[in-house]
A = this chain, B = another copy of it.
Amino acid sequence: MTEMYIPTFQDALDARERIKPYVHETAVFTSSYMNALTGAELFFKCENFQKAGAFKVRGASNAVFGLDDEAAGKGVATHSSGNHALSLSYAAGRRGIPCHVVMPRTAPQAKKDAVIGYGGTITECEPSTSSREEVFAEVHKQTGADFVHPYNDPRVIAGQATCSMELLEQAGPLDAVVAPIGGGGMVSGTCLTLSNIAPETKIYAAEPLNADDAYRSFKAGHIIADDAPETVADGLKVPLKDLTWHFVSNHVTDILTATEDEIIAAMRLIWQRMKIVMEPSSAVPLATILKNNDVFAGKRVGVIITGGNVDLDKLPWMKS
Q: Give residues 250-298 of A contacting B (CB, 8 Å).
A: 268, 271-272, 274-278
In this assembly, does A43 line the interface, its C-beta being within 8 Å of a C-beta of chain B?
no
Query: Across the interface, do B49 and A308 meet the contact criterion of CB distance under 8 Å?
Result: no
In this assembly, does A228 line the interface, its C-beta being within 8 Å of a C-beta of chain B?
no
Cα distance A313–B271 in the bound complex, in angstroms: 12
Query: Across the interface, do B312 and A272 meet the contact criterion of CB distance under 8 Å?
Result: yes
Query: Across the interface, do A271 and B312 meet the contact criterion of CB distance under 8 Å?
Result: yes
For A53, give the chain B residue with the smallest CB separation.
Answer: B275
Chain B residues contacting A49 (CB-CB under 8 Å) are 29, 274-275
Cα distance A175–B231 in the bound complex, in angstroms: 48
Query: Across the interface, do A318 and B308 meet the contact criterion of CB distance under 8 Å?
Result: no
In this assembly, does A317 line the interface, its C-beta being within 8 Å of a C-beta of chain B?
yes
In this assembly, does A48 line the interface, its C-beta being within 8 Å of a C-beta of chain B?
yes
* Minimum distance in angstroms from A259 CB to a CB of chain B: 20
For A32, give the chain B residue with the smallest CB separation.
Answer: B51
Query: Across the interface, do B275 and A271 meet the contact criterion of CB distance under 8 Å?
Result: no
Query: Across the interface, do B312 and A275 meet the contact criterion of CB distance under 8 Å?
Result: no
Contact of A275 among B276, B317, B318 (CB under 8 A): B276
Chain B residues contacting A274 (CB-CB under 8 Å) are 49
* Minimum distance in angstroms from A57 CB to a CB of chain B: 13
In this assembly, does A315 line the interface, its C-beta being within 8 Å of a C-beta of chain B?
yes
Cα distance A308–B53 in the bound complex, in angstroms: 20
Query: Across the interface, do B308 and A317 meet the contact criterion of CB distance under 8 Å?
Result: no
Chain B residues contacting A276 (CB-CB under 8 Å) are 275-277
Query: Across the interface, do B317 and A268 meet the contact criterion of CB distance under 8 Å?
Result: no
Q: C-beta contact mask, A291-320 vs B, less than 8 Å → 1, else 0?
A: 000000000000000001000110101100
Chain B residues contacting A315 (CB-CB under 8 Å) are 312, 315
Query: Across the interface, do B317 and A313 meet the contact criterion of CB distance under 8 Å?
Result: yes
For A31, give the chain B residue with the smallest CB separation.
Answer: B49
Known: A53-B275, A275-B276, A278-B275. A313 touches B308 (CB 8 A): no
In this assembly, does A168 line the interface, its C-beta being within 8 Å of a C-beta of chain B?
no
Which residues does A use to contact B, with CB under 8 Å? 27, 29, 48-49, 53, 268, 271-272, 274-278, 308, 312-313, 315, 317-318
A-B contact pairs, 8 of them (CB 8 A): A48-B275, A49-B275, A272-B312, A275-B276, A275-B277, A276-B277, A312-B317, A313-B317
Given contacts A29-B49, A312-B317, 20 further A-B contacts (CB under 8 A): A27-B27, A48-B275, A49-B274, A49-B275, A53-B275, A268-B312, A271-B277, A271-B312, A272-B277, A272-B312, A275-B276, A275-B277, A276-B276, A276-B277, A277-B277, A312-B315, A313-B317, A313-B318, A315-B315, A318-B318
